[in-house]
Amino acid sequence: MGVRVESFGSLVGSPWVYAVVALSVLLDVFLPVLPSGVLVIAAATAAAAGTATGVPDILALTLCAATASVLGDLVAWRLAWRGGARLDRAIARSRRLTGAQERLGSALARGGGGLVVLARFAPAGRSLVSLGAGAARRRARDFLPWSALAGLSWAAYSVALGYFGAHWLGASWLATAVSVGALFAAGAGATYLVRRHPVPVEAS
């Protein structure tokens, strides 16, 4: 266990942390079990501790995570767009995917995209929204700006949790655990709001 902790500490203090974070965030649209949020928080905690090399950098880490989030959404959206009848049948068999597709269609048709941003914080919400947008043949100009806002909001929130948690509690595993708990709490709150208000208020 000590070796794994030491190895992880070495990783978050090297430039490779950006590649690991980006890959994890990009892929968790397909594999929501990947701990991308935990990695972002741990890297931000390391940044708050300060290193001789200045890695990771808070701004670079935020932009890295946000960009990877949008790219992952784009890949999922495009694959679902090209999925055709087979994907439509798979979605039709899932009440959860069907409901997400209908809610997203209503939200985007009304000019609002709050659902996209909110779902980014909910467990597997990003997957449901990105795949639902592609399957519903939503245009990129209707979906991707909201995806970018969602990715930036999620990345900034996750980085802020790790960074300020470390300043308040010290750069320790306790600070990381508390920050991860706050991220999960936000996810639970987002899930509750999505279920309670399936169609967001129209954006101004």
For the stretch 93-150, pLDDT in tens is 666 666 665 665 555 555 456 778 888 888 777 887 888 788 778 788 888 899 999 9
Model confidence, pTM = 0.77
Q: Per residue, what are the HEC states of the chain?
A: CHHHHHHHHHHHCCCHHHHHHHHHHHHCCCCCCCCHHHHHHHHHHHHHHCCCCCCCCHHHHHHHHHHHHHHHHHHHHHHHHCCHHHHHHHHHCCHHHHHHHHHHHHHHHCCCCHHHHHHHHCCCHHHHHHHHHHHCCCCHHHHHHHHHHHHHHHHHHHHHHHHHHHHHHCCCHHHHHHHHHHHHHHHHHHHHHHHHCCCCCCCC
Least confident of 10-19, 23-32, 88-97: 88-97
Q: Where residue 203 falls among pLDDT bands split at 50, 70, 90?
A: very low
